Amino acid sequence: MHPSSCDTFVALPPSTEGPRIIFGKNSDRPCDEVQEVVYFSARDYAGAGEKVECTYIEIEQVAHTHAIVLSKPAWLWGAEMGANEHQVCIGNEAVWGKESADGDEALLGMDFVRLGLERADTAEKAVDVITELLEKYGQGGSCMEDQGSFTYHNSFLISDRKEAWLLETSGKYWAAERVEGGYRNISNQYGITTKIDKEHPNMREYARSKGWWDGKAEFNFATVYSFATTARIEASGSRYCEGKKLLEKSNGHISAETMMDILRDKDSGINMEGMFMSTGSMVSVIPQDPTRPGVHYFTATPDPERSVFKPFIFVNHINELKTTTSPSYGPDDPVKKKPRFQSKPDRKHELFVKHELVAAIIDSYEDRGKKIVESMRQLEKEKMTEMEEIISHGIKEPDFLVNLFSKSVQEEMAAYSKS
């Protein structure tokens, strides 16, 4: 069975309740992989000559990077999903098509997610950042810590306070579509058809040269660059259709709770189980009013059905998110050594360890497990009520939010022991 992964969603007015954008994503990864939630403050750099070490390669650093919060596989530099202080949100998906995804180590799709958040203050600028880096450095490298052959192209769903963008890549070629209203979801297949708002200047000519397009028919990116059919496409197509139905069901009333329910849905396959499973989840609520804060909820634990979505808000002087940050091995990390993939160090952060224990109880003891899940849901509901007050009336005392996410993690772990 080939691994397939991830679903990303965005809803904009008039599909949402009120003038806000709702972004959501499940990160579906190997079941033994740890996903951490980490924060990096904004930073200025000296200038020419500075480098940033991504997962496999070094690239040129920029003069300024924005504050970011990420949900990321603990072994690599990039991220599956995240947001920045300007309320840009990005999630990526694996996609496969006619162009081979096998290539030299370059930037991973997850590296592009982090770089887009660090360097762009709008969704459209994130598209430009990612495509410029794609042109300069390329995409490639294994996307699993212990499997050298798992490679893919990438698609991205990117949103900000006013709109969303879908960006799809095939090698160095790409197409992008602006989404200004309604809802959109993506899975592991190309979804841009004939509405293309930005594109690689040679994307159409390359397809014509390969015999994928005759140069006369209306250009449909998904049709031209996709396989006709594969098991991967059929599986992701099913999840895509089910996700679209779930969005349509709440159209006009899509809220953070709606998005969390979609990410928790197991019948659709969106909440994935098995060797490849939902190892982390994110939901963001972004008011279109620039004076109102965005709230970003992360689980930092597998299976959103038995996890708590915990809030994060960008304010000054946020402390390190220690309880969801995995151990660091620096230059001794096996990923940084040659040959790679020989051993996997323990990357479990504190919340992951405690969640692993309570998940075993939920699976083994029906009554006690039910009480634990009820306690977790109650905590989540209380936090969401508090966040709605902040979204509606603004931040009155920012210092109280410095430890918002970390405090919520502590309350979650306390809920485990009470039940």
| DSSP conformational letter for 307 | S
143 is catalytic: no
Which residues does 375 contact at the CB level (< 8 Å), separation at least 6?
415, 418, 419
Q: How far apart are CA 275 and CA 253, in angstroms?
A: 34
Q: In this structure, how many other beta carbons lie within 10 angstroms of the beta carbon of residue 182?
A: 16
DSSP reduced 3-state for 356 = helix
Residue 221 CA to residue 232 CA, distance in Å, equals 18
Say what the alpha-carbon torsion angle 269, 274, 280, 286 is, to the nearest 10 degrees. Answer: 0
- 8 Å CB contact between 227 and 170: no
Residue 154 β-bridge partners: 94
Question: Which residue reads 């993939």 in tokens?
Answer: 341
Dist. CA 78–CA 112, nearest whole Å: 7
DSSP conformation class of 182? S
- Contact (CB, 8 A) for 317 and 190: no
Q: Which residues carry out catalysis?
A: 6
